[in-house]
Amino acid sequence: MSRFRARLYEYEQQTGIDLMKEEMESLADAFVQMMGLSGQTKRMDSLMVASSCKRMRRLELFYSCVSRMVKAIRATGLTELLDKRLRKYLDANDENDTLYRTPASEVDSKLEAAMTDAVRLLELTGEAFAKMAEYQQLKRLVEEQTEDTGHGRKLRDKSKISPNSLQNPSDEDATFRTKAGETHKGYVGNLVETFDGTGAVITRMDYQQNTHSDMSFGLAVIAAEESQATQAVTLIADGAYGSDELLMAPAGEKKVRLVATNLTGKAPDPVVSQFAIDEQRKILVRCPAGHTPTDSHYRSNTDSCFAHFNKGVCSKCPLRQHCGVKFQKKTGLVRVALKTIHRAQYLVKLGQTEFKKLTRQRNALEGVPSVSRRKYDVDHMPVRGYVRTKLWFFLKVGAVNARRIVEWAAQQADSLLFQTFCVNLNFSRRKNRLKSNLIVSAVI
């Protein structure tokens, strides 16, 4: 298996083609046909996948990168480049003293010293070591964690450090993200499950660095479904996947209908949904109370509609506190973004019986991330790096599908056995009744 994975890794590095993903999705399509799933309803969710590398503090990150570069220089035999201050990074006791025995009050000074050593080491080595992985990591660290002041380099403020910055030299591809109040270091997987009353199979899967947004996943999935769909498909996801362009698409315009639950952001006033809009000219045609504006126009720079109404009518309207009207000298001005109207209209739709039923069906997919962590140990993969962990992730998703199809086949076998038993039982009963009738006839 390790050689097999190595060949897949090398093939993707050379061609950019992920054979494991193609195979897992191809198997999933075969499972769908075997189970007879309709393919008209699908649900989507993402899960954070932790990197197995250690979560490093800033001081530890600098010390580790400098230490790696110093050891790489020693391995080349060019130890004359290293002065006494840099040779201390070869001492394991110094590493323990710096990283684990330094009082909190001295951490900042030790960090400044490690940063100075990193910058000086880059100057000493120069481009002669540019092809070494240790040099590239050290250079990346200095560029991401420090900034040039014109009089040297200083530590960059933490708030200005990119989430794509180096988290650990042992996993250069891992990124940082905060989601739902929790911090994550690693990657993110996206799953699309095809389901109906018969069963469910994960038919699409994706894997990216964890800075990749759910909305980006959603756009890619819908584009792929649109290119392959032969029938109307309803895709159910949570609010993070939603965008106005996808959610508000007119019925029949797209083959894939996205239903997003729990939209992110502040919910607009429900009254706003009752504004009538001319979608082609993008102007207000009628207010929630049914009044026609005296004039209306659209401003593209703010994607908003501006409309003037009769001031006397607006001042007596019971909905004036909800529509956002602003009274001017002669008129009542309503300014409302098209995005706000569309969002309000969509929230009204979510309250309908059909949509409530669909949103409840999405919850079943929440169990997949839990099973992936508890049973398939997705957060503790024994490899590091984007391509290698991606390969393992798709294998684990394939294992989820394989277990489902085995359980489905067992149920089908049990059902067939039960049906055979019932047929035999009915035949036995008919035979006994026939025998009893023959005996009664003989007696008569």
DSSP calls for 309-334: EEHHHHHH-TTHHHHT-EE-SSEEEE
**Greatest pairwise CA separation for the chain in angstroms:** 122
Q: What's the number of CA atoms in the CB half-sphere (13 Å) around residue 129? A: 25
Looking at residue 355, its pLDDT comes to 78
Looking at residue 401, its pLDDT comes to 95
**Using one digit for the tens of pLDDT, what is the confidence trace for 292-339?**
999 999 998 888 999 999 988 898 899 988 888 999 988 999 999 888
| Torsion of Cα atoms, 143 then 149 then 155 then 157, to 10° | -100
Please report which confidence band the pLDDT of residue 440 belongs to, taking 50, 70 and 90 as the band edges. Answer: very low
- Whether the per-residue pLDDT at 392 is higher than 80: the answer is yes
Residue 178: name the closest of 211, 208, 206 by CA: 211
**Using one digit for the tens of pLDDT, what is the confidence trace for 252-268?**
567 888 888 777 667 78
- Whether the per-residue pLDDT at 416 is higher than 80: the answer is no
Global pTM value: 0.81
Q: What's the number of CA atoms in the CB half-sphere (13 Å) around residue 232? A: 7
Looking at residue 83, its pLDDT comes to 87
Looking at residue 53, its pLDDT comes to 92
Looking at residue 426, its pLDDT comes to 63
**Using one digit for the tens of pLDDT, what is the confidence trace for 99-119?**
999 999 999 999 999 999 999
125 or 242: whose pLDDT is higher?
A: 125
Distances (CA, A) of 105 to 118, 289, 444: 22, 65, 111
Looking at residue 249, its pLDDT comes to 53
**Using one digit for the tens of pLDDT, what is the confidence trace for 355-388?**
788 878 888 888 898 999 999 999 999 999 999 9
Evaluate whether 223 touches 215 at the Cβ level (below 8 Å): no
268 or 2: whose pLDDT is higher?
A: 2
Distance CA 182, CA 170 (A): 23
Q: For the chain, give the mean pLDDT.
A: 87
User: Quick one: what percent of the chain has pLDDT higher than 70?
Assistant: 90
Window from 123-137, 275-289, 356-370, 382-396 with minimum mean pLDDT: 356-370
**Using one digit for the tens of pLDDT, what is the confidence trace for 191-228?**
999 999 889 999 999 999 999 999 899 889 988 988 88
- Whether the per-residue pLDDT at 242 is higher than 90: the answer is no
Please report which confidence band the pLDDT of residue 247 belongs to, taking 50, 70 and 90 as the band edges. Answer: low
- Whether the per-residue pLDDT at 280 is higher than 70: the answer is yes
